[in-house]
Amino acid sequence: ALALRRPFRDRGTGGVVRALLLLPYVAPIVAVTFTWSTMLNPQFGVVNHWGTRLLGWDEPVAFLSASPSALLTVIAFEAWRSFPFAFLFLTARLQAVPAMYEEAALVDGATLTQRFRHIVLPQLLPTIAVLVVLRFIWTFNSFDDIYLLTGGAAGTEVVSVSVFQSLTARGDIGGAAAQALALAAVLAVLIGLYLRKFAPREEQS
C-alpha cells in the first residue's frame, strides 16, 4: 500500500498492478482452492515437483493432509486471500493523509523511517485495528475455503466445519445445533464490540 499510494506515470500499468493485487479476493473460491490443491498435490503438484528437484526434499510434502503443514498452508492461504481487502483499506487511508505533513517533516530533515513512524503509522493505526477485529470475526465464519482445501483434516477443523461435519457426516443434529448456537453467541459479542468501539470512529472520520 505504501509503494502504490503514489500515482503511476503510466495509468495503464497502475491499473494492471492493482488488478493483480485484488485477484485473490475477487477470484471464485472454488477455482482458487482447486488451483492451490493441484499445485500442492504430493503426486503431481508443481510445488513438490520443484521442491524435490531444486530444494533437495527427500520426499513430497503432504501440504493439505498432514499436520502441521496443513495448518500452515491454510494460514498462508487465508493471508493471501485477505491481503487485497487490507490493501484497499490501507491504500484509501494513506491517500487521505495530507501530504503537507510529510513535506514539512522532510523540510525539517526527517528520514523516511522517521516520517513513517511519526506521521504515517499513527494515521494507519485505527484502520489496522478495524482490520484486525474484522478479520478475527470473519475467521469464525471461514468454511468454504477450509472445507475445499483440507475438509477440516489434519488439525484444520474450525467451528463452522465442525458444525457441518456433525450434521452431515455424524448425523448429530443436537451437537451441530449447540455448536452453531455457541458460534452465533460469540459472533454477536464480537460484532457488538466492533459496533461500539469502531463504528463511531468511522462516522467521525
| Of 130, 39, 56, nearest in space to 92 by CA | 130
| Fold assignment, 11-204 | MetI-like fold (1.10.3720)
CB 146 within 8 A of CB 163: no
How far apart, in Å, do the first and last CA atoms of the chain sit? 20
Q: What grid cell was written down for 140?
A: 469464525
80 pLDDT exceeds 80? yes
Amino acid at 21: L
Q: Measuring CA to CA, how many Å separate 43 from each of 37, 69, 80?
A: 11, 16, 24
Q: For residue range 148-161, what is the model confidence (pLDDT) as tens digits?
A: 999 888 888 888 88
Q: For residue range 157-199, what is the model confidence (pLDDT) as tens digits?
A: 888 888 888 888 888 888 889 988 988 888 888 888 877 876 6
Q: How many residues does the chain have?
A: 205
